[in-house]
């Protein structure tokens, strides 16, 4: 009985020590403990295009500022972003619900065709909207984590808005007899100014 009592006391003590070690502030990690993050990105409507790189810096734990560069498949894309983090008390892995606002610029193309009744000769001509330099602002809620070892992950999805649709022009597409040439745009309608966006960023955060 005495042995059993001592074993129980040792088990309780060991559990208490393990719990205290696990939850110790010295073991906790916060986003500004490793403020500089280099991440590879895949996405659409992201500040780094379809594939690229984002470098960000956590000014304070709830706020990170960054720049991105990549390609959208038509050419280079460049951008800047700010991420606001809302999260509980840090633990061994820091978790955050995030809201990211970003600006990006790149060459852009949207596929389309003339609808029946649109008065723009010739009526059967199919075309694409294009812009040599489009400017977009995106808004993405998401989730972010940072591990004790520096692994960083951010997942986000939202909407992107074109800021300069008036700069778009029309070009005959691959099925048009005026392929690659500027053609009259339809009298009605215009390019879509809203697009879905998403970002998947995997990277490493550095201590400074």
**Could you state, in order of their start, the residue ranges of all structural domains in the chain?**
29-206
Torsion (CA) 46, 48, 52, 57 in degrees, nearest 10: -100
pLDDT at 146 over 60: yes
H-run or E-run covering 8: helix 2-22
Higher pLDDT pick, 89 / 121: 89
Give the global pTM: 0.75
* Fold category of 29-206 in CATH: Porin (2.40.160)
Of the segments 83-92, 161-170, 198-207, which one has the largest average pLDDT value? 198-207
pLDDT on residue 127: 73
139, burial (CB in 10 Å: exposed 0-12, middle 13-18, buried 19+) = middle
């Amino acid at each position: 009985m005495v042995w059993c009592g001592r074993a129980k006391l040792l088990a309780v003590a060991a559990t208490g020590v393990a719990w205290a070690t696990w939850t110790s502030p010295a073991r906790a990690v916060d986003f500004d403990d490793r403020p500089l993050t280099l991440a590879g990105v895949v996405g659409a409507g992201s500040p780094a295009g379809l594939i690229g790189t984002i470098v960000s810096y956590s000014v304070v734990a709830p706020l990170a500022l960054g720049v991105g560069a990549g390609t959208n498949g038509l050419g280079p894309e460049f951008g800047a972003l700010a991420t606001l983090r809302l999260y509980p008390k840090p633990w061994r892995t820091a978790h955050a619900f995030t809201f990211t606002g970003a600006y990006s610029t790149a060459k852009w193309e949207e596929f389309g065709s003339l609808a029946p009744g649109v008065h723009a000769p010739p009526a059967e001509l199919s075309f694409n909207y294009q812009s040599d330099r489009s400017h977009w602002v995106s808004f993405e809620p998401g989730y972010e984590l940072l591990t004790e070892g520096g692994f960083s992950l951010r997942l986000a999805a939202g909407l992107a808005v074109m800021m300069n649709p008036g700069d778009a022009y029309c070009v005959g597409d691959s099925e048009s007899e005026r392929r690659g040439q500027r053609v009259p745009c339809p009298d009605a309608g215009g390019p879509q100014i809203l697009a879905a966006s998403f970002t998947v960023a995997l990277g490493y955060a550095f201590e400074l």
